[in-house]
Amino acid sequence: MRTFGDDPDTPVELSASHAAHLAERIGVEHVALGSAFDCALIPAELGDAAEMPRVLDALVVAGLDDVERRRIGWENRQRVLIA
């Protein structure tokens, strides 16, 4: 969840809202969460990959259903890695 303007204080909810907007504009099948916690600037409130469930919860608050959340959370990335 790359932060906006590289600001580590970006709320997770804002990042989730951005992901939901992207899914609406280009299709949920083209949006995925990354796993580059070692080289990307992520919201400070996440800290590490153990906090990813908070991002998934924020996607629900942003209006995505369980199928869309699964796709963004792991299925889309898995599909691309397998291809």
Q: Quote the pLDDT of residue 70.
A: 96
Domains held by the chain: number = 1
Pick the more confident residue, 38 or 23: 23
Distance from C-alpha of 2 to C-alpha of 11, rounded to nearest angstrom: 11
Going by pLDDT thresholds of 50, 70 and 90, the confidence category of residue 4 is low
Q: Are 59 and 19 in contact (CB under 8 A)?
A: yes
Q: How many CB atoms lie within 10 A of CB 61?
A: 12
Helix (H, G, I), strand (E, B) or coil at 18: helix
pLDDT over 90, % of the chain: 57
Range of the domain at 67: 4-82
pTM here is 0.82
